[in-house]
């Protein structure tokens, strides 16, 4: 047997985003290394409670919250920071509890509300409160804090969380991005995630019109990989609430990367690119950003080499993740 009899990982049902994929990858890694883990689905809006086809390669079944054995002290419950309220269901129960901090900013917005948690898997907002009241009570239940980014580690340490209970648990990008050969013949295309830093990107688009700008939206994974394999540059001036996957996906696909300095982008451990490609303010730094973009477009083959160290670190993340899973949950 491993360190735990069963490790339960709570996840919103059917949601297809980076966070839920990480949670499914965690369950898969624990099980493939000899541990025993189960994904626990909770209802999310009107989405069906079933396995999203994107995640069928990670898990072959799921349970609901009522099926968690909370009276065994050798069981462990892990929740993402967006679902910390579920820890309150098991207050004073022997089951061990942990939070996987995939994001800091999502938790900070969540902490503005107080929630009632019901066994049927629903979160019901009761009323708006002062920041930190509802969620702060929930995270007190956690014995372990697994941080996906050094941005989260810094945030937790500054708030007095026990360093002995902090564990680095990075994630990794989908294997499909690792399987593609990098295309060195690129078009003068700038790609970006319209859900992150949209106003800042729109400002840059309005001022820099000599290149083609393509938002990454309404595309399946193959289409995204195809786009990332022909663009020269990926821009991200979002808030980087955790170690975001899209900059890593773009980098490993051969794109040069330019970011802001919010959130994890300000930590070299999370976004391992030179400071010459990071900017504080799109308006105040506009001339420097324009110059940097022009350099990339003119000298892509040369400047692309600046991101090799970042790509190497990305390529090692799955192995690092597996080792951490084995150490924390299996051996």
Chunk the chain into consecutive blocks of 10 residues (it has 331) and report each block's average pLDDT, rounded to whole numbers: 88 87 96 96 87 93 96 97 90 95 80 46 38 60 94 92 86 89 89 94 97 96 95 97 96 97 97 98 98 98 97 97 96 87
Is residue 326 included in any domain, yes or no? no
Q: Does 219 share its domain with 91?
A: no
User: Which residues are within 8 A (CB) of 265 and not within 5 positions of it... i.e. 6 or more apart?
Assistant: 236, 240, 247, 259, 271, 278
Is residue 329 included in any domain, yes or no? no
Closest among 17, 16, 19 to 101, alpha carbons compared: 19
Examine the fold and report which residue of 114, 134, 169 is the final residue of a domain before the chain moves on: 169
Q: Does 155 share its domain with 187?
A: no
Q: Does 160 share its domain with 179?
A: no
Is residue 302 included in any domain, yes or no? yes
Other C-beta atoms closer than 10 Å to the C-beta of 150 total 18
Q: What is the pLDDT of residue 132?
A: 40
By residue range, what is the domain housing residue 298?
Answer: 175-315
Is residue 330 included in any domain, yes or no? no
Q: What is the pLDDT of residue 120?
A: 46
Helix (H/G/I), strand (E/B), else coil: 88: helix
Other C-beta atoms closer than 10 Å to the C-beta of 45 total 8
Closest among 72, 73, 99 to 85, alpha carbons compared: 99
Q: Does 43 share its domain with 95?
A: yes
Q: What is the pLDDT of residue 293?
A: 98
Q: Does 257 share its domain with 201?
A: yes
Give 3-state DSSP helix, strand, coil % of the chain, rounded to 5: 40, 20, 40
CATH number at residue 147: 3.40.50.2000
Q: Does 91 share its domain with 197?
A: no
Is residue 179 included in any domain, yes or no? yes
Domain count, the chain: 2
Is residue 328 included in any domain, yes or no? no
Q: Does 102 share its domain with 162?
A: yes
Examine the fold and report which residue of 169, 193, 208 is the final residue of a domain before the chain moves on: 169
């Amino acid at each position: 047997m491993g360190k735990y009899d069963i490790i339960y990982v709570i996840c919103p049902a059917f949601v297809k985003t980076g966070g839920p994929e990480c949670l499914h990858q965690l369950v898969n890694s624990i099980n493939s290394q000899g541990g025993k883990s189960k994904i626990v689905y909770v209802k999310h809006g009107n989405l069906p409670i079933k396995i999203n086809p994107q995640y069928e390669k990670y898990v072959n079944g799921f349970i609901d919250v009522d099926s968690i054995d909370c009276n065994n002290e050798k069981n462990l419950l892990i929740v993402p920071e967006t679902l910390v309220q579920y820890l309150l269901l098991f207050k004073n129960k022997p089951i061990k509890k942990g939070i996987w901090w995939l994001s800091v900013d999502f938790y900070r917005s969540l902490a503005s509300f107080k929630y009632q948690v019901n066994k049927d898997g629903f979160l019901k907002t009761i009323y708006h409160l002062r920041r930190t009241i509802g969620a702060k009570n929930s995270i007190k239940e956690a014995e372990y804090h697994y941080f996906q980014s050094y941005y989260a580690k810094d945030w937790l340490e500054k708030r007095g969380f026990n360093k002995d209970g902090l564990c680095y648990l990075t994630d990794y990008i989908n294997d499909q991005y690792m399987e593609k050969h990098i295309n060195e013949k690129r078009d003068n295309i700038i790609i970006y995630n319209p859900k992150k830093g949209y106003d800042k990107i729109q400002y840059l688009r309005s001022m820099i019109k000599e290149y083609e700008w393509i938002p990454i939206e309404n595309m399946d994974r193959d289409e995204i990989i195809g786009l990332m394999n022909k663009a020269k540059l990926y821009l991200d001036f979002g808030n980087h609430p955790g170690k975001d996957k899209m900059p890593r996906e773009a980098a490993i696909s051969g794109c040069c990367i330019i970011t802001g300095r919010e959130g994890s982008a300000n930590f070299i451990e999370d976004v391992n690119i030179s400071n010459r490609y990071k900017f504080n303010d799109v308006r105040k730094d506009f001339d420097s950003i324009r110059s940097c973009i022009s350099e990339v477009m003119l000298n892509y083959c040369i400047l692309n080499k600046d991101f090799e160290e970042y790509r190497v670190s990305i390529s090692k993340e799955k192995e690092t993740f597996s080792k951490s899973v084995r150490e924390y949950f299996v051996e």
